[in-house]
Amino acid sequence: MNIVAINGSPRKNANTATLLKKALEGARQNGAQTELIHLYDLTYQGCVSCFACKLPNGKSHGRCAHKDELKPLLEKLHHADAIVLGSPIYFGNLTGMMRSFIERLAFQYTVYDTHYSSLFPRKIPIGFIYTMNLDEKRMKEWGYVEALSGLQNRLGSIFGSSEGLYVTDTYQFKDYSKYDITAFSEPLKAKRRQEFFPQDCEKAYDMGARFAREGISNDFNAKIEPH
């Protein structure tokens, strides 16, 4: 049972990374092997529209043919039992690095038939962890949930299932006084981080734990089924 988390934030130890580490901790505590990948460590492009993955008799059918530093990660994820994607929200959507990664990850398995079916060989869960500076009320008013859930649901249809964890009103700076930030109250941000961020970490932990338990259970059931 192998679960891979992908950090789409440029920060390796801030909110998004912390939540991903909690998800992997929950997975490990329930018997899974885990790995955390930081996208900003890699040099790569989004989809280059070569369509090699769409050639039925081609050597790259169903697999991304573009060779750069993302290629080994895509191969690793082809064999993963669950994937957890984490990204801060920049201007209402995932980071550019995460978007480019998802283009390469998802398009290779997408079939241009009437059902837009999938070439991914198994059904696995995909978890999304979104972190953002907005509070929950404004997140909904500004349409963030609608913008993010469409892509999330599409990946669920490609890989098997998907779910999202929305972490709002995050604490961004160690010293708010150094920045031109008048829209937010540092004391309120600090209070929320102390009271609510631990709960978000527990939710991330539970996601990873559940993915691991369900994956191990599926493996066990597959082994005992008669052939």
Domain of 36 in residue numbering reads as 2-224
> pLDDT per residue over 167-197, tens digit each?
999 998 888 888 888 888 888 888 989 999 9
* Overall number of domains in the chain: 1
Threshold 0.75, pTM exceeds: yes
Res 175: pLDDT: 83
Sorting pLDDT into bands at 50, 70 and 90, what band is 90? very high
194: domain CATH number is: 3.40.50.360
Across the chain, mean pLDDT equals 93
HEC states along the chain? CEEEEEECCCCCCCHHHHHHHHHHHHHHCCCCEEEEEEHHHCCCCCCCCCCHHHCCCCCCCCCCCCCCCCHHHHHHHHCCCEEEEEEECECCECCHHHHHHHHHHHHCCECCCCCCCECCCCCEEEEEEEECCCCHHHHHHCCHHHHHHHHHHHHHHHHEEEEEEEECCCCCCCCHHHCCCCCCCHHHHHHHHHHHHHHHHHHHHHHHHHHHHHHHHHHHHHHHCCC
Sorting pLDDT into bands at 50, 70 and 90, what band is 158? very high
More confident of the two residues 162 and 188: 162
Res 225: pLDDT: 55
> pLDDT per residue over 8-21, tens digit each?
999 999 999 999 99
Res 188: pLDDT: 87
Q: What percent of the chain has pLDDT over 90?
A: 83
